[in-house]
């Protein structure tokens, strides 16, 4: 298994028609880098500018994935980006893309389908076959839909996401179609694309409203001839030539993610808004997974695959067994700058993800059965090893206990032998002293020496007999162990007997030592008289006790030997004689016992020889069987070692996966512990809060009871008050009705007064009286309007509520109308207009005078005058004509906007359009003085804005007028020159070819 990074490709789509005037710069430093907004640079594996086509994208980043897919690796392509960025177009799974007949317009998926079947066609052979199947899913509002069988959604058949035994993600209930060629696969793709959910938004006319996963599964079958060696404990070795079929199963997922979108820009409502929220939720969960996998500091932490079905489906593609390519689609428009930046950050994090990829091998044709048999054999061998280990452990425990007992017995025996030797030494020393005292012969000393040798020989033979018995017991135990080992399963080499392991030199030394001791005993028998053969070992023990007691008495007597008493010496001699006689008897008993022991030793020797012969034969037979079994075992062991290596690899993989699961579970457990602790604290806080709220509720209940009592009292008072108010309301309604009638009457009277005042104003009166009348007319008009408004509000006994803004708007409109009427009256008496009119009148008079004078001159000098030369007054006439035209246009320009403005304000019907200018001015003042404080503030702000706008327009018009005056002066000068010139055509052409300066700059001739 190797690791593979998630490769990222960036494709920038061309601008749409709406984005032609709203574009950002695309400045790549090299083929793999893009610069956004001049200060943010990003580096990817592939970068495609808007000028790149579909073939460039497919040939550079998809073809390597196709080759890996055919080799047996899993592969995935993720298309990510905002809505309308070209994801579906690049993938080629949209309906419009599939229906296109041109190969140049095909996306990634159609090109992949054609290339896949071309590769499979070239690899066809008798030993190779393949099968292609396809499935098409969509994730719409967190619901899985099978696009190849959309009826299941209506029938309520839910699709489920599961994890197989190898940890790979699979989905159950999905329909898989087996295809034989590219045409069938394209038809299935078209069928699924038709069933996919799409809708129109403000940002995209054919927006995908779901995440789509188009999966292609390739199964490849390769036949190979291998030798299959199988052997079991109950059968001989078998060698068979069996063709093994190797199967490669690889998957290619094409994931078209729905675009991220903002509801403010898409203006989605209802189902579209719900779909957009679901899409953004899934993409947010996908971003969290990419951050957890790509961030170095968070790689050990938990990866939230289960937060969304989208991340669960893509678990293998992100951090799993898959070669993954993320195709990030972006828009170059500056309006989409925020979404483009988020897309680039998203893709940049995905580059840090490491996937663990491996070829997907599967073995068929009894390989699974063989693996199961081997696993069963290994399990059985482990059980037998365990039972054998238990038996050997019990034998070792028993052997340890026996060794402990033998050690303690050996210590006791050594101590006894030492004591016996000490007693013998004391006996001999006392005997020697006695002999020196009594003067006995050498024969008696020799007899005592022979007895001493007999006793030492007996002791040594007893020790050797004990050792022989122990060895015989060990041989029997070894034979039993060999028998058990030979009957059980061969797991190791059999144990051999300790006797068989002894070399023949040691055996010969033992036999020689036993025979030499026997010959010594026989030679000594001839020099000693025979004794009774009925003595037993019990008598020997009795003799030892008696000898000890006699030695003790002899020692006491020896102490008294120096006494010069003859009687004591006689008694001592008698006792010594009796002791010697008893010792002779004991010596005969020892000889008899020795003979019996020799016979037993001979019999034991024969038995041992028979056992050795039988053991030798059985050992040879066992060796032959062991050699055969060892040969079979070694052959089977070699085979099992190879299988064990493979199983060990799988075991290591399982251990690693279990470690990962353990780490994940530990992290989950820690998180659960923290959550439990947090919930415990929250529970304590909640209980405390509940207690406090319960106390508060009790207090509130008491307060509520008091308030209820109070409210009952208030209710009784309110009923009484209601009755009183109803009576007062009836009285007020009657009064309001009378007041309304009076107001209507007063309004009519005020209108009559205003009409009378207007008639008076129309007559010729003094200026001071005109001002007073104007004020009176204005006050009457405003008062009548206000009275009428109050009457309208109180119509029908109900008050009509109007907002402050409505009142301000109405009164502002009235003020504008009054000001427009006043300005229109001032237009005729404006100093500038009067000056222009006076100037026009003077010029008209001068022009008329010059024309009449010119006519007279022409009549007098008609014959002498040259008609081609200009007269002395023609220049002045031309200038006057031009100035008159300019003055007329200027006067019209000053008077026309005022009249138009007055006509626009005619919607205010209660103000007369023929009102005198002084009355209009007083009317505006009366309206302003009748304003409330808040209304005055709002109207002042509005009027300030109007003044600023008028001032700005005035400055603009002043600059344009200054420029136009200069242009007119230049044109007048040019016109005069043209009239004076002899060659008018040349002057005219020069004037036409010279540049003209306007308010927008110089205008050059063509």
Q: Please give the annotated binding residues for ATP, written as ranges.
A: 81-88
CA pair distance 712, 968, nearest whole angstrom: 90
* Cβ-contact 266, 276 below 8 angstroms: yes
* Cβ-contact 254, 324 below 8 angstroms: no
CA 182 to chain centre: 35
Name the H helices within 488-503.
498-501
With a CB cutoff of 8 Å and minimum separation 6, the contacts of 409 are none
Which parts are annotated binding residues? 81-88
CA pair distance 786, 743, nearest whole angstrom: 10
Pairing mode of beta strands 323-330, 75-81:
parallel
* Cβ-contact 186, 98 below 8 angstroms: yes
Q: What b/e readout covers 354-375, taking b as 16+ CB neighbours within 10 angstroms? A: ebebeebeeeeeebeebeeebe
CA pair distance 454, 39, nearest whole angstrom: 117
Quote the DSSP letter at residue 795: G
CA pair distance 811, 346, nearest whole angstrom: 58
Q: Quick check: helix, strand or coil at residue 354? A: strand
The gap between the terminal CA atoms of the chain, to the nearest Å, is 76
Q: Quick check: helix, strand or coil at residue 287? A: helix
CA pair distance 226, 823, nearest whole angstrom: 112
H or E segment and range at residue 162: strand 160-163
| Residues shown for the chain | 1006
**Residue of 48, 47, 51, 42 lying closest to 15 (CA atoms):** 51
**Residue of 589, 557, 562, 590 lying closest to 576 (CA atoms):** 557
CA pair distance 63, 60, nearest whole angstrom: 6
* Cβ-contact 461, 601 below 8 angstroms: yes
For residue 305, give both structure tokens: 């695959």
For the chain, helix (H) and strand (E) counts, in that order, are: 24, 20
Sign of CA dihedral 557, 558, 564, 569: positive
Strand partners of residue 363: 246
Burial grade of 220 (CB within 10 A; 0-12, 13-18, 19 or more):
buried
For residue 612, give both structure tokens: 């050795």
Name the H helices within 200-336.
263-266, 271-294, 309-313
**Residue of 102, 77, 101 lying closest to 90 (CA atoms):** 77
Q: Quick check: helix, strand or coil at residue 197? A: coil
C-alpha distances in angstroms, 922 versus 390, 763, 862? Answer: 125, 19, 65
C-alpha distances in angstroms, 353 versus 9, 14, 304, 347, 350? Answer: 14, 30, 15, 11, 6
With a CB cutoff of 8 Å and minimum separation 6, the contacts of 774 are 761, 916, 918, 919, 921, 922
* Cβ-contact 762, 912 below 8 angstroms: no
Strand partners of residue 179: 132
C-alpha distances in angstroms, 661 versus 2, 167, 299? Answer: 20, 11, 14
* DSSP result, 767-784: HHHHHHHHHHHHHHHHHH
CA pair distance 329, 10, nearest whole angstrom: 6
């Amino acid at each position: 298994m190797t690791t593979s990074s998630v490769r990222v490709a960036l494709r920038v789509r061309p601008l749409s028609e709406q984005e032609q005037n709203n574009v950002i710069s695309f400045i790549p430093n090299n083929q793999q880098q893009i610069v956004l907004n001049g200060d943010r640079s990003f580096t990817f594996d592939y970068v495609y500018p808007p000028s790149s086509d579909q073939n460039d994208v497919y040939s550079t980043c998809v073809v390597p994935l196709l080759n890996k897919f055919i080799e047996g690796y899993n592969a995935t392509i993720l298309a990510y980006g905002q809505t309308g960025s070209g994801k579906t177009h690049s993938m080629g799974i949209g309906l419009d893309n599939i229906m296109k007949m041109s190969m140049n317009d095909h996306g990634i998926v159609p090109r992949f389908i054609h290339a896949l079947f071309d590769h499979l066609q070239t690899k066809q052979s008798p030993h190779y076959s393949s099968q292609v199947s396809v499935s098409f899913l969509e994730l719409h509002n967190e619901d899985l839909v099978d696009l190849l069988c959309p009826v299941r959604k209506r029938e309520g058949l839910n699709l489920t996401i599961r994890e197989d035994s190898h940890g790979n993600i699979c989905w159950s209930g999905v329909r898989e179609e087996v295809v034989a060629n590219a045409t069938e696969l394209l038809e299935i793709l078209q069928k699924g694309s038709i069933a996919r959910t799409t809708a129109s938004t403000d940002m995209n006319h054919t927006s995908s409203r779901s995440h789509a996963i188009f999966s292609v599964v390739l199964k490849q079958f390769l036949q190979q001839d291998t030798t299959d060696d199988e052997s079991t404990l109950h059968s001989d070795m078998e060698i068979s030539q069996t063709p093994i079929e190797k199967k490669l199963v690889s998957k290619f997922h094409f994931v078209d993610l729905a675009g991220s979108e903002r509801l403010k820009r898409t203006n989605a409502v209802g189902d579209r808004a719900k779909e957009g929220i679901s899409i953004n939720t899934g993409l947010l969960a996908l971003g969290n997974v990419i951050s957890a996998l790509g961030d170095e500091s968070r790689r050990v932490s938990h990866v939230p695959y289960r937060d969304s079905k989208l991340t669960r489906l893509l678990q293998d593609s992100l951090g799993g067994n898959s070669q993954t390519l993320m195709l990030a689609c972006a828009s170059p428009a500056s309006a989409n700058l925020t979404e483009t930046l988020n897309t680039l950050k998203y893709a940049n994090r995905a580059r840090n993800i490491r996937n663990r990829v491996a070829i997907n091998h599967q073995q068929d044709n009894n390989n699974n059965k063989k693996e199961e048999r081997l696993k069963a054999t290994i399990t059985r061998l482990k059980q037998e090893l365990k039972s054998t280990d238990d038996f050997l452990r019990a034998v070792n425990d028993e052997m340890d206990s026996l060794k402990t007992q033998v050690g303690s017995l050996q210590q006791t025996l050594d101590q006894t032998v030492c004591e016996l030797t000490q007693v013998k030494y004391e006996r001999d020393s006392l005997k020697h002293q006695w002999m020196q005292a009594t003067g006995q012969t050498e024969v008696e000393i020799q007899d005592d020496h022979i007895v001493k040798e007999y006793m030492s020989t007996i002791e040594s033979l007893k020790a050797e007999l004990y050792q022989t018995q122990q060895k015989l017991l060990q041989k029997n135990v070894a034979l039993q162990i060999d028998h058990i080992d030979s009957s059980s399963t061969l797991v190791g080499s059999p144990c051999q007997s300790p006797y068989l392991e002894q070399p023949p030199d040691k055996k010969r030394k033992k036999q020689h030592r036993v025979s030499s001791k026997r010959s010594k005993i026989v030679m000594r028998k001839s020099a000693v008289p025979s004794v009774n053969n009925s003595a037993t070992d019990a008598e020997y023990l009795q003799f030892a006790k008696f000898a000890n007691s006699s030695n003790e008495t002899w020692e006491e007597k020896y102490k008294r030997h120096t006494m010069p008493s003859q009687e004591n010496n006689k008694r001592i001699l008698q006792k010594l004689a009796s002791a010697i006689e008893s010792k002779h008897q004991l010596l005969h008993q020892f000889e008899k016992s020795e003979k019996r022991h020799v016979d037993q030793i001979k019999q034991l020797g024969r038995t041992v020889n028979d056992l050795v012969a039988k053991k030798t034969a059985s050992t040879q037979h066992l060796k032959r069987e062991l050699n055969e079994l060892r040969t079979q075992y070694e052959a089977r062991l070699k085979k099992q070692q190879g299988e064990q290596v493979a199983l060990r690899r799988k075991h290591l993989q399982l251990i690693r996966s279990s470690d990962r699961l353990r780490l994940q579970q530990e992290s989950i457990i820690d998180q659960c512990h923290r959550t439990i602790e947090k919930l415990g604290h929250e529970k304590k806080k909640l209980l405390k809060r509940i207690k406090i709220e319960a106390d508060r509720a009790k207090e509130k209940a008491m307060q509520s009871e008091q308030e209820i009592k109070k409210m009952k009292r208030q209710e009784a008072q309110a009923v009484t008050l209601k009755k009183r108010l109803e009576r007062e309301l009836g009285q007020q309604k009657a009064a309001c009705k009378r007041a309304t009638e009076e107001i209507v009457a007063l309004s009519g009277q005020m209108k009559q007064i205003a009409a009378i005042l207007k008639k008076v104003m129309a007559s010729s009166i003094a200026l001071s009286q005109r001002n007073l009348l104007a004020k009176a007319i204005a006050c009457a008009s405003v008062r009548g309007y206000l009275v009428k408004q109050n009457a309208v509000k109180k119509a029908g006994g109900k008050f009509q509520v109007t907002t402050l803004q409505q009142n301000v708007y109405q009164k502002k409109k009235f003020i504008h109308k009054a000001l427009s009427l006043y300005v229109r009256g001032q237009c005729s008496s404006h100093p500038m207009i009067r000056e222009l009119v006076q100037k026009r009148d003077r010029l008209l008079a001068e022009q008329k005078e010059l024309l009449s004078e010119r006519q007279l001159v022409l009549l007098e000098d008609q014959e002498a005058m040259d008609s081609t030369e200009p007269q002395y007054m023609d220049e002045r006439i031309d200038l006057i004509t031009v100035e008159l035209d300019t003055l007329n246009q200027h006067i019209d320009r000053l008077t026309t906007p005022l009249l138009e403005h007055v006509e626009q304000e005619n919607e205010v019907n209660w103000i007369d359009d023929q009102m005198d200018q002084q009355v209009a001015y007083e009317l505006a003042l009366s309206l302003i003085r009748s304003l409330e404080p808040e209304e005055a503030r709002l109207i002042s702000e509005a009027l300030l804005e109007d003044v600023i706008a008028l001032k700005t327009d005035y400055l603009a018009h002043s600059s344009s007028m200054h420029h136009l005056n200069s242009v007119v002066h230049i044109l007048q000068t040019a016109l005069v020159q043209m009239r004076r010139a002899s060659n008018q055509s040349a002057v005219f052409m020069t004037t036409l070819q010279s540049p003209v300066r306007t308010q927008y700059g110089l205008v050059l001739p063509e």
